[in-house]
Chain A
């Protein structure tokens, strides 16, 4: 039966499935789409996915669990949008998300996505951990609660709950404290940012989360926000205005660059070391911020920044976007995106793979272990390198 509510019915048939969407900027190979790189079947390329979505919408094929998996295996990295030469390219991810909206409406999402959304709805985080444990990331750091400081430090669910990402959250708090930035945190009053909920197609939940966070920000008089996660940065900067929340939002790397420039923060001097940097999709392709993280690295003594072949607009995603760091629809193979990415990093000869995203941090660190690269390649968040965390 044809579905009549699909928002992009007037354009979805315009995908020609020519395959541009699989390439990086320099055409190095057809493997820069994470889900296609993992499965290497046309159904998992975004062209194939759009044709399948259209077939489902028009009733040509029925819904199935496998169809839902294919639709949810897009990690929304936007490589396709960068490379597609056609005029509707800016709507490719929107077309996928709109299909997910319909699946959510009909209760047809993959079990892992359902669990993710339920956990966020009930507990304010994807893992279903207690909302009252959200502030435990702080440990003995004791950042001040937000009152009327210049910045709110929005930690986000990964920084608050994920054991690896907590280290980055603490390191960033330490850096901000060290540089004398006036900031505070919301602790248990913060809830999930909703970025992934939006991409997973649960608009009602996004609205609820955005309204909750916006109300909390307004209640405290928040005007400027620093985020640890590029995902939160994207949500607060680009989604919240639609729900009446207009704030000055910064990813922390942008703030650190300014602090260094203003002489308020001294970048560390390291023993000579080769570092490569992985562009997070929600900082790079989604928000066009490629410079700040590199400036942070270049300001450090002893750092030789070596770029991977796939960087900036061509960066290969870690595979964790759109909730896949939790759902893991692309895991379980040597062709899992995170494993491919750490091999690319290792090929540069770098000793450190620097990231600026808690999702990438967890994904890539796990991949380094699985690939047996742990003795050669450390994965560190820029906040950790700045703070001098071990």
Chain B
């Protein structure tokens, strides 16, 4: 018997290891346009201890290890580019502690965002976390490994800014904790110890996050969505500036898309607001619409598109069905808010060139410090020509992002290379040293963030 397989069986049990074609095929596929990359083994550990043993064994046998959460990055970031062990972490899905007064929750890495939301809804309805726009099966750990953002991005920034503690299995197998939990204290803060946490944004190439303490925030009783609509994209940055000045929104996104037709060439500023009373909501609305946006209404350049709507849970999967084809991928980039008009126009142009209905979205991060802007390209999985077009459009958009002064978010390998080509050499060498120091045998998700 293959010694790696035998070791994996010994560590996680026969049921949770496979070298059979069916599992290898399944895990060779990403949901986006990436070409399949076949692992040699699939394993689903249940504990950090098992992860540690697998990593130690992989070092001994010089086999790659690729951690996988919900598998929803769409950018192929958890594909085994150099084979090896695909590590499905979704069995590690316990919610270990909910500290209501301290406003944090400690979860295992494979806990899905859907599960955490449901748990809070049931056990602490006055608290919430920042849930990304991804399907609810997206995992907490996966989201942090790519510096994800969520529906509290406006007030609180990136989800990776909301971490109060972390446990990580290093590429050499040691289990480390970061933050107050490293002192044996409760998991209430990541700071102020020296910052040695170099795992978020690395797509699992510097270690495997196994536990996370995530900040929770007040969840108000009433959540509603208003929409402010403008036709002129050049007005969007100043409108967002006005709105972020008052800081009344819980989430702010600007959506423009060719389908359905009512959205075509219009810009819907979707404003989620919340309050414990109607009075609170009306106060917030007054500050935003009466004090800040009235001038656009008066000029006739903007109008209220909807008010007091129920906040829908995003169903991003529906995007995959626009071409009745089961697929889409997007370029996400962290952009200055001021670049919205160029971002939008680029999206229309590139999509048009590839015969794909354009879809763009900008989500405000912080007080307008940046926005996550996404260009989405749907394709038909059964029509290779549409997949090729989408892939090409993604590459062109990656390049355009850099031309516009943006920073690619969770880039695929193509985008990682573009970034590293432009990166300051000192930074690049630092990344190389970090990677080599933590992962001397280069077994962790190889092919990602590899500095030449």
Contacts and interface: CB of A to CB of B under 8 A. Distances in A.
Contacts of B27: 42
A14 B327 CA distance: 7
A43 interface: yes
Interface residues of B, number: 46
B367 to A, nearest CB: 31
B135 to A, nearest CB: 4
B16 to A, nearest CB: 7
Interface stretch (A58-66, A117-125, A192-200, A351-359): A58-66
Interface string B295-332: 00000000000000000000111101100111110000
Contacts of B315: 85
Contacts of A16: 31, 317, 320-321, 326-328
Given A20-B317, A51-B29, A333-B15, A28 B118 contact: yes
Interface string A31-65: 00000000111110000100110010000111010
Interface in A44-92: 48, 51-52, 55, 60-62, 64, 66-67, 70, 85-88
Given A42-B88, A52-B25, A14 B16 contact: no
Nearest to A11: B324
Interface residues of A, number: 37
B292 interface: no
Contact of A43 (B22, B119, B316): B22
A20 B137 contact: yes
Contacts of A17: 29, 31, 71
A52 to B, nearest CB: 6
Given A13-B326, A42-B88, A43-B26, A29 B317 contact: no
A15 interface: yes
Contact of A18 (B18, B137, B382): B137
B93 A30 contact: yes
Interface in B91-150: 91, 93, 112, 114-115, 117-119, 121-122, 135-137
A48 to B, nearest CB: 5
A41 B16 contact: yes
Instruction: Pick from B22, B135, B318 the residue with the most CB of A within 10 Å.
Output: B22
Contacts of B20: 64, 66
B354 to A, nearest CB: 20
Contacts of A271: none
Nearest to B321: A86
B88 to A, nearest CB: 7
Interface in B163-191: none
Contact of B137 (A19, A67, A86): A19
B351 to A, nearest CB: 20
A22 interface: yes
A19 B135 contact: yes
Contacts of B325: 13-14
Contacts of A217: none
Contacts of A240: none
A27 B382 contact: no
A70 B114 contact: no
B137 A40 contact: no
Interface in B51-86: 70-72
A43 B321 contact: no
Interface string B1-34: 0000000000000011010111101110101000
Contacts of B252: none
Nearest to B16: A40
A28 B113 CA distance: 10
Contact of A27 (B31, B70, B115): B115
B22 A67 contact: yes
B136 A23 contact: yes
Nearest to A22: B137
Nearest to A36: B90
B26 A48 contact: yes
Contact of B21 (A23, A29, A64): A64
Interface string A130-165: 000000000000000000000000000000000000
6 contacts: A20-B135, A20-B317, A41-B16, A41-B26, A43-B25, A51-B25
Given A39-B15, A41-B16, 8 more contacts: A16-B320, A19-B70, A29-B114, A40-B44, A41-B18, A41-B44, A42-B71, A70-B22
Interface of B: 15-16, 18, 20-23, 25-27, 29, 31, 42, 44, 70-72, 88, 90-91, 93, 112, 114-115, 117-119, 121-122, 135-137, 315-318, 320-321, 324-328, 380-382
